[in-house]
Amino acid sequence: MYDYKSKFEQITAKQLLQMLEETIKTGEINCRRSNPPKEVVLEKYYPGIGAKNRLRVVIRKISNGPYKIVTAHPVYWD
């Protein structure tokens, strides 16, 4: 799809966990993609991880329990 190699493919699990934590704590809420309070989409800028250099983390509330990470990926479109 793209002619470049994403640095997202070259990070360790420890780095990914750190990026997820930072994004959840300090990322910006993408209001167009979020469906509060059930689901929240957070994004944070990380140079070199993809086309738009942003990591998107989707968290969803499970019943009356805590939020859980549903998915995380670099932003390629919007």
Q: Which residue has the tokens 């167009």?
A: 32
Distance of alpha carbon 64 from alpha carbon 71, whole angstroms: 20
11 vs 71, which has greater pLDDT? 71
Taking 60 as the threshold, does the pLDDT of residue 8 lie above it?
no
Q: Please tell me the distance from the alpha carbon of residue 60 to that of residue 47, in angstroms, as a whole number.
A: 26
What is the model's pLDDT at position 1? 45
The answer to whether 57 touches 23, Cβ cutoff 8 Å, is yes
pLDDT digits (tens, 9 = 90+) for 16-42: 899 999 999 999 999 999 998 899 999
Mean pLDDT of 43-66: 88
Query: Does pLDDT of 68 surpass 80?
Result: yes
Sheet of 54-61: strands edge to edge?
A: 28-29, 39-45, 54-61, 67-74
Question: In the predicted model, is pLDDT for residue 70 greater than 60?
Answer: yes
- CA-based max dimension of the chain: 44
Q: Whose structure tokens read 């919007």? A: 78
pTM of the model: 0.80
